[in-house]
């Protein structure tokens, strides 16, 4: 069978459909590449300087250089900022772009009309977001090194941890967005009442134990808290039981698997009508 025949081209698309979708998403990202670049550089500069340097100076002067988990406030808060960067990418790429593909500019239907399955569409989206998230977190980590926010060499493992957390939460966002037929404010409310509280009450800017016990459950359910706690173990050697570190990995991994499966299921139901 010749490589240029329609049958051969269709077979190639069926085999590499996920990567074709990822390529499409990369080309779409080029349209807002300037925003991605500015936020990728500006966010770590602003947050690390304002919170890690500005606020850290006040905290360390009042409580001492080792007052927060035995380290300075900059070393304490930096792993949380890295995790929040991954959550930010997830909230941007797994919400409105998914709505775009299904509703506003229904490219997903066009892809599905070709030999690309709904599962490959979802897989391609995840691949593209994972690539952007990895680049964002990697750049964030470089700035953390420049600010002196990483104590141990094992801190580099914070990048895959943040990636796991971002994709675990993002997969659930993608699955939810795939069920929406109209945007009547659901995504905006999701940002206000889910994502924002999660970033505030996940042990990010202060230890979770400082919260009243009736609010600590927010952190326990938050994939961000699990990622931040594990990142602090890697970054400066925060002490916790081994079983808890295992939970910190298993929980977002389970969210990723469930969210991915649900997103594929909802995409099949929607595209194959």
**Angle of the 118-146 helix axis to the 158-177 helix axis, nearest 10:** 140
- Quick one: tokens of 146? 């420049």
Task: Give the number of domains in the chain.
Answer: 1
CA–CA separation, 251 and 172 (whole Å): 13
Question: Across-strand partners of 118?
Answer: none
- The model's pLDDT over 47-62, given as tens digits with 9 standing for 90+, comes to 888 877 787 777 777 7
| Domain residue limits at 133 | 17-271
The C-alpha atoms of residue 67 and residue 210 are separated, in whole angstroms, by 14
The answer to whether position 10 is within a domain reads: no
pLDDT score of 85 = 96
pLDDT grade, residue 14 (50/70/90)? Answer: low
Q: Which three-class secondary structure state does DSSP give residue 221?
A: helix
Q: 52 in a domain, yes or no?
A: yes
- Asked, for residue 3, whether it belongs to a domain, the answer is no
Per-residue confidence (pLDDT) for residue 64, from 0 to 100: 64
Identify whether 182 is part of a domain: yes
- Taking Cα atoms as reference points, which of 75, 234, 76, 260 lies closest to residue 162? 234
CB 8 within 8 A of CB 1: yes
Does a structural domain hold residue 227? Answer: yes
How much is the pLDDT for 1? 45
| Global pTM value | 0.91
Q: What is the mean pLDDT of the chain?
A: 90
CB 175 within 8 A of CB 268: no
In a domain, 70, yes or no: yes
């Amino acid at each position: 069978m010749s490589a240029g025949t329609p049958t051969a081209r269709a077979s190639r698309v069926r085999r590499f459909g996920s990567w074709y979708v990822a390529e499409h998403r990369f080309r779409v990202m080029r349209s807002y590449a300037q925003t991605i670049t500015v936020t990728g550089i500006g966010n770590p500069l602003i947050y690390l300087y304002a919170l890690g340097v500005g606020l850290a100076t006040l905290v360390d002067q009042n409580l001492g250089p080792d007052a927060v988990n035995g380290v300075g406030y900059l070393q304490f808060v930096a792993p949380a900022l890295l995790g929040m960067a991954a959550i930010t990418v997830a909230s941007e790429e797994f919400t409105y772009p998914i709505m775009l593909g299904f509703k506003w500019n229904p490219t997903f239907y066009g892809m599905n009309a070709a030999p690309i399955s709904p599962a490959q569409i979802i897989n391609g989206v995840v691949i593209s977001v994972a690539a952007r998230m990895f680049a964002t977190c990697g750049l964030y980590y470089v700035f953390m090194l420049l600010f002196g926010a990483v104590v141990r060499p094992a801190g580099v493992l914070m990048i895959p941890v943040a990636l796991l957390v971002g994709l675990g939460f993002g997969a659930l966002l993608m699955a939810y967005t795939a069920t929406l037929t109209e945007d009547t404010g659901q995504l905006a409310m999701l940002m206000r009442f889910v994502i924002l509280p999660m970033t505030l009450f996940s042990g990010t800017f202060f230890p979770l134990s400082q919260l009243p016990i009736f609010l600590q459950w927010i952190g326990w359910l938050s994939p961000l808290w699990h990622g931040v706690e594990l990142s602090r173990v890697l970054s400066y050697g925060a002490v916790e039981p081994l079983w808890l570190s295992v939970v910190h990995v298993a929980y977002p991994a389970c969210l990723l698997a469930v969210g991915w499966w649900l997103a594929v299921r909802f995409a099949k139901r929607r595209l194959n009508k």
